[in-house]
Amino acid sequence: MIVKDLRLATQVSELVGRFPRAWQDYQDWLRDIVGSRPVLSARYPSWQAAIIFRWRLFYFVSYVAVVVFLKQCGKKLESLTTIDYRYILQRTATLLAVAALTLCGIAATTGILIAFYYQPAAMRAHESLTAIAHDISSGSVILSLHHVAGNGLIVVSLIQLVVMFLGREFLCSWFTGWISGICLTLAAMGLSWTAIVLSWDQTSFWRFKIELSIVGSIPLIGGALREILSGGSGINSVTLQHMYALHSYVLAIAAIFLSVLHLGALILQEQHWKAAQQRFNLSKLSERFLRKSL
């Protein structure tokens, strides 16, 4: 029995020996467990002594295993919190900026395709959209792509604001990215708002009427703003043309410009993570170009 127990103890020591730090800390425990084995045999019947001995060995192994496990977890967590977590946020922000630019591109392309057939006039708008959806080849795909890209842009830019807030760093490039991100979010919302009346059906008409009256209730400037937006007191062809111009010229161009600026700022921001010689450097690049051309 004792020989068997000692063999077990040898196996335990080999197991714990694989973790040098834990072995350094706790080997005297194992030594005393083995050292007290003769005392156990003298005091208890052999079967009881074996049970006590094995229980001590088992507890020793479990305790050391938990200590090793917790230490490993702590180390992982520490490495996550120091550098990786901010780096992950930085990469996520850049990826989201790429996604926003892609969505802008999709919305712009499909928007231009829609503009080939869309007619911004009160009696023609709804008809032309129906025609695009039904008569033009892959018209419904283009329309729904335009919707998905527009809504997706709002979602992505809102998530981006949260990500950038968590990974905030008070550098010029971050600040540019942050401000352009906020403006991009506002532009995306503005695009979706000006698109309400463009489909010219019952829901959009009445919704726009309510929202115009909300705009009108802003103190001091409300009335004037409402007239500027709707091009008069009622909602008619002029309103539609105003919204169309805002949607497809002012806000769309602003959104594309902002998303390019946003991505550019974040790419510049990423340079801080790179080693000095790997960073993007305009003068170095032009120097190399000049050397090549000469």
Which positions lie near another protein, rule CB under 8 A?
Answer: 6-7, 9-10, 12-13, 17, 25-36, 56, 59-60, 63
In the complex, the smallest distance separating the C-beta of residue 32 from another protein, rounded to whole angstroms, is 4
The helix (run of H) or strand (run of E) holding residue 139 is helix 139-166
Considering the complex, state which of residue 35 and residue 105 has its C-beta at the smaller distance from another protein.
35
**Residue bearing tokens 């008569």:** 135
Residues 6+ apart with CB under 8 A from 239: 197, 208, 229, 230, 231, 232
Per the CB < 8 A criterion, the answer to whether 177 and 171 are in contact is no
Minimum Å gap between C-beta 9 and another protein is: 5
Of the pair 61, 159, the CB lying nearest another protein is at: 61
- How many residues comprise the chain? 294
Tell the smallest beta-carbon distance from residue 31 to another protein (Å).
4
**31 or 147: whose CB is closer to another protein?**
31
Residue whose CB is less far from another protein, 62 or 217: 62
Closest distance between another protein and the C-beta of residue 13, in Å?
4
Nearer to another protein, 32 or 127 (CB): 32
Please state the closest distance from residue 71 (CB atom) to another protein, in A: 12
CA dihedral 130, 255, 241, 107 (to 10 degrees): -10
CB of 45 to another protein, least distance (A): 20
| Coil, strand or helix at 169 | coil
Distance (Å, whole) CA 195 – CA 200:
10
Closest approach of another protein to the CB of residue 54, in Å: 12
Distance (Å, rounded) from C-alpha 38 to C-alpha 28? 17
**Which DSSP string corresponds to 227-281?**
HHHHTSSS-SHHHHHHHHHIIIIIIHHHHHHHHHHHHHHHHHHHGGGS-GGGS--
**Residue whose CB is less far from another protein, 34 or 186:** 34
| Nearer CB in complex with another protein: 42/220 | 42
Question: Which residue reads 């995306």 in tokens?
Answer: 188
* Phi-psi group of 232: left, alpha or beta (phi > 0 → left; psi -120 to 50 → alpha; rest → beta): left
DSSP character for 78? H
